[in-house]
Amino acid sequence: MSYNNIITTKENSLGMITINRPTKLNALNNETILELHTAFTDFEEDPEVRVIMITGNGEKAFVAGADIAEFASYSKEEGEALAAKGHRILFDFVEGLKTPVIAAVNGFALGGGLELAMACHMRVASDSARMGLPEVSLGVIPGYGGTQRLPNLVGKGRAMEMIMTGGMIGTEQALMWGLINHMVAQEELLPFCKKIAERIAKNSPVAIGKALEVINAGFKYGVDGYKAEIEGFGYCFGTEDFKEGTTAFLEKRKADFPGK
């Protein structure tokens, strides 16, 4: 499928998404969000794709926020609808995928860009990347999950400081705070992420999908994460992946999992 604002490719078991609006620093507008939803859906439904990776075009920006010109004149009701739609079709949607998503943060990840990275299951950043939620400088708050996901990742106090100052942090601080998993040189970013993807792809896609579901359950209000784990653990026993994995272990060979 051809897109106006993103590029998609597939390398064996890896589905690759590149946000391609370099003149706009890869800012998210409505069309880009819709295209991302379609691309993520296609890769989620592709039985050959075991891992999805997302990055921005160029070395300057992953996503430098939302396209402000598109919503500057919105009313209260339109603003609320914008956030709700974004959660539904992209940010919550990505977090809920059963195919793991790695964000390769190649530059500025600001506002909606950082929120997109935080919705992914893992984050790897180049050593020159910068991250922040500057929305309060525009008279608004983060609306795509930033006020909820950032405290889960870095703690309440640090999240409050980042959101209230609207400032940016560098990759070293992001690594120290737990906002990203790894920091690498710019030229190593994509190869490093692909190595992680290769390691993931060797394992059971059914078990990985269930693990993502159960981990996310533990962060939902009113959900007993331990109960979800027990049920997920039992579920795996009834799958072909479990039969193949345990048989391969007993036969001292590598498992050949049938797919998601």
Per-residue confidence band for 171, with pLDDT thresholds at 50, 70 and 90: very high
In this structure, the answer to whether residues 125 and 226 fall within a common structural domain is no
The residue segments making up the domain with residue 246 are: 205-250
Task: Examine residue 23 and state whether it is found in any structural domain, yes or no.
Answer: yes
- 149 lies in the same domain as 47: yes
CATH code for the domain of 19: 3.90.226.10
Catalytic residue among 35, 44, 95, 115: 115
Instruction: Supply 75's token pair.
Output: 């009313």
Q: Which pLDDT score is estimated for 165?
A: 98
Encode pLDDT of 56-94 as tens digits: 998 899 999 988 888 888 999 999 999 999 999 999 999
Shared domain check, 237 and 161: no
The reported pTM is: 0.95
- Residue 56: inside a domain: yes
Same domain (yes/no): 12, 109: yes
pLDDT band (50, 70, 90) for residue 2? confident
Same domain assignment for residues 176 and 239: no
Q: Is 115 a catalytic residue?
A: yes
Pick the catalytic residue: 35, 80, 135, 198?
135
> 87-138 pLDDT, tens per residue?
999 999 999 999 999 999 999 999 999 999 999 999 999 999 999 999 999 9
For residues 99 and 220, membership in a common domain is answered with no
Tell me which of 164, 183, 201 is where a domain ends. 201
Q: Are residues 155 and 232 in the same domain?
A: no
Strands 168-170, 130-132: parallel, antiparallel or unpaired by DSSP? antiparallel
- Residues 186 and 227 both lie in one domain: no
Residues 210 and 225 in one domain: yes
